[in-house]
Structure 1
Amino acid sequence: MYEGPIQDLIDALSRLPGVGPRSAQRIAFHLLDAPEEEVFALADTLRRVKESAKFCEVCFNVTQEDRCRVCRDPRRDRSMICVVEESKDVIAIERTSEFRGLYHVLGGSISPIDGRGPGDLHTRELFTRLADGQVTEVILATDPDTQGEATAAYLSRMLKDFGVMVTRPASGLPVGGDLEYADQVTLGRAFEGRRSMFAPEPAASAVTPAE
């Protein structure tokens, strides 16, 4: 245990994802030894991120504007929506240059263990986006792990009444992996070979289903 602010910094860094106590200690002492201007610049960047970053009012991707750059781009194909768990997944898919539609960021996945259900995600907003009938395909690109598969299964059931084609990225993504860590070729091939989860049916009245 260290005294005062040093231990406070180590404790704060340890709460970050993927940072254990030893890594937190190394980072803390690196910052302690770094030039003062670099540390203050880092602190200023963190402050500006919290002050200026927000979520897109349409798709919930991270942005500095009311709408993200994808939603603002008139060249995007508005008949397709790719549903992902987090904003980092949008970046991973964009790197493949295989998808030119729009996105919808759920803000996580269904996880009963963590007490997170459909109502805790941006599912209702997704259903609202489909109500005008402009979208013809929804790609469920949630992570190929237990929570991601459960989320995709739930959404596929709820989307049946909207008369849209529902697909899921095909082979190439390892089961239990994260989209964030998939290489561009693997992720690109998965999008090229996406498969339908069910055949589209004639659209019924587009009423937002109860959760």
Structure 2
Amino acid sequence: MAKPIAGPEIEKLIQLLAKLPGLGPRSARRAALHLVKRREQLLAPLSAAMDEALRTVTVCSNCGNIDTRDPCTICSDPARDQSTVVVVEDVSDLWALERAKALNAAYHVLGGVLSPLEGVGPEDLSIDRLVERVADGGVKEMVLAVNATVEGQSTAHYIMDRIEGLDVRVTRLAHGVPVGGELDYLDEGTLSAAMRARTSV
């Protein structure tokens, strides 16, 4: 086991940063050193922002988005077309579609995809809440904007089975979204084109 090169407080900061997506131990050390060197300009404001987020950020009970209010800003927006619901895997996908300004609709965040190998079943996702929203009668179109992966498509088929018989039009993103691609990594133009060219399932 390697000897620590800094005090326990800095080592703890490095270990926590290393748990973030895209940051390994080496990147975490560089980030920690950068933050510590710029305590007043970066570390203090970051600490305050994280504390504020911990106290105020919540999950929308309607759609699963994260915001500082419940229902979230999108669900509360009267200018939104609440009759169209875009179903996404994660909040990052919702944010990607919002950046693209692809559709002025409501959303539903599943919280992942079905994955028997990883032990993720229907009860682990917010599929029941989605079915409730559709069954209530206000949803006229449901856009399945899940990733074009095997798990994403399996989840889409499961959802279609669950809403069979309900009065809702089901569409999906056009095939301009590459197979195996993830929404969060696509550019805004591709997302907008895919949303405009959505097709019936």
Report the TM-score, using the length of structure 2 for normalisation. 0.92
Partner of residue 110, structure 2: 106
Q: Distance in 2 between matches of 1:138 and 1:23?
A: 41
1:26 equivalenced with 2:15 (yes/no): no
Partner of residue 92, structure 2: 88
Find runs of 4+ consecutive structure 1 residues off by over 3 angstroms.
none
Partner of residue 147, structure 2: 143
Summarize deviations over 1:159-191 as a string: whole Å, max 9, x none. Answer: 212131111101211111211111111001111
1:156 equivalenced with 2:160 (yes/no): yes
Amino acid at match of 1:23: S
1:61 equivalenced with 2:93 (yes/no): no
Partner of residue 5, structure 2: 2
Summarize deviations over 1:5-25 as a string: whole Å, max 9, x none. Answer: 222221111111111111111
Q: Distance in 2 between matches of 1:185 and 1:34?
A: 37
Q: Distance in 2 between matches of 1:38 and 1:101?
A: 36
Q: Percent identity over the alignment?
A: 41
Gaps of 5+ in 1: 198-211
Partner of residue 12, structure 1: 16
Partner of residue 41, structure 1: 45
- For residue 167 of structure 1, the aligned residue among 160, 164, 171 is 171
Partner of residue 181, structure 1: 185
The answer to whether the Cα contact below 8 Å between 2:102 and 2:191 also exists between their aligned partners in 1 is no
Amino acid at match of 2:97: I
Q: Distance in 2 between matches of 1:172 and 1:37?
A: 43
Amino acid at match of 1:133: G
Partner of residue 83, structure 2: 79
Q: Distance in 2 between matches of 1:48 and 1:154?
A: 38
**2:83 match: secondary structure:** strand
Amino acid at match of 1:182: L
Gaps of 5+ in 2: none
Report the TM-score, using the length of structure 1 for normalisation. 0.88
Root mean square deviation of aligned Cα: 1.4
How many corresponding residue pairs? 197
